[in-house]
Structure 1
Amino acid sequence: MKSEQILSPAAPTAEQVAKGRRTLVLLFLVCLAPVLAAYGAFYVWRPSAQASYGKVVSPPVALPVATLKTLDGAPLVEGIRGKWTLAVRAPSACDPACQQELYYTRQIRTITGANMDRVARLWVFDDARQPEAKLLADHPGLLVVSDPALASAVGPAGQIALIDPRGNLMMRFPENAEPKGIVKDLQKLLKYSR
């Protein structure tokens, strides 16, 4: 029988000690990172409270649409009942900014695709003049109303407003609004209001 040698463990080298410490620090940091990220997300980085592009009108404003008629004589309430309506307030002598807003509302409605029939467009003005026939021909399906009370309720010229399917003003978009922001808000509303 051979005699067994009992080997004592060799003392770690300085390099092994340094490598072990680095590993321990790295492991500590990996475990600490989620805690620091959660703390930062809760106390430091605050997402904005507004999830929509447009400004929500709270409480919604009931619009005086029950007795109004469009320029072609149809009841306005029939044109907007059950639809999300993009409303533009601009004078009947539509300047280039007004024409741009009407164009945006037409394009936004088109972008909604399968939900196009759930979206209406409305042009409101408070003077008694007739808009240009060519402009109206460029915007088929546009509801046009001349009424000072409705115009003031919709809001200032230069902003697109959104009317809910019950005829309440519920959102206003900023002046010179980005159509992408309006589309995003409208698509959310169409999705969740089936």
Structure 2
Amino acid sequence: MGAAMNPPSMSEAKTPASRRKGRWQLLLILFGIVGPMILATGMYKLNFWVPDGRSYHGELIGNGQTRADIGVQADEDRWQMLVTAPRDCSVDCQQLVYLARQIQIGLGRDASRASHALAVTQPLTTEYEAKLAREYPQLQRYPLDVGVFTRATGDKTAPQLWIIDPHGNLVLRYDPTVKGKDLLNDLRQLLKLSNIG
């Protein structure tokens, strides 16, 4: 008589069912990790489920634009306050440059996490160039591509101040009427919430 066939053990009989259960558990864990990231990215890119209440004072730029999208080519791995002047850097522009420097100083121990910069399309006056060299030694300077800037911002010819994250993404925009205290509070809040830059 041939060898007796052993019936399958209980552990072998449960293997397909336990495999299915294990796969579902793995899928649930992956969805729990990846799902919120996908949702957050969709909310940011498509601008949905954004609360109406806000705690910031500038105009939120939530469309994924970068510094290059407004005509400024720069490498900066810190938070940046960038003043753009699509025309000449007159009184409003100079006031924003002054404000950006004061805000950086006002950051205190976090001042090294931020920088201030100016992007212009036209040459500055000799007098203002001398003032910048004398009083603004840390001011970064960039050329501004006015064509790219106009396509990105529309007909905004007034100087603007932008807060830009360390990845080069535009975060907030301010016009020349911004109050220094509001700008400082916004930047402090961003630095507090961020572990980059």
Going from structure 1 to structure 2, the CA distance change for 1:99 and 1:139 (only over 3 Å counts) comes to same
| Equivalent runs, 1:166-177 vs 2, <5 Å | 166-177=167-178
Count residues in correspondence.
Answer: 136
For 2:130, which of 129, 134, 143 is the aligned residue?
134
Going from structure 1 to structure 2, the CA distance change for 1:60 and 1:170 (only over 3 Å counts) comes to farther
Shift of 1:130: 4.9
Larger Rg: 1
* 1:89 matched to 2:101: no
TM-score (norm 1): 0.61
5+ residue gaps, structure 2: 1-51
5+ residue gaps, structure 1: 1-47, 70-75
Runs in 1 of length 4+ with deviation above 4 angstroms? Answer: 149-156
Going from structure 1 to structure 2, the CA distance change for 1:161 and 1:135 (only over 3 Å counts) comes to same
Higher percent of residues as helix: 2
TM-score (norm 2): 0.60
Going from structure 1 to structure 2, the CA distance change for 1:96 and 1:130 (only over 3 Å counts) comes to closer
Shift of 1:104: 0.3
For 2:99, which of 99, 104, 108 is the aligned residue?
104
SS across alignment from 2:103: helix
SS across alignment from 2:65: strand
Q: Which moved more, 1:87-96 or 1:164-173?
A: 87-96
**Structure 1 letter corresponding to 2:165:** D
- Deviation readout 1:53-111 (Å, 9 max, x if unpaired): 1111112302328xx77xxxxxx30xx21x11101112574312221111100000000
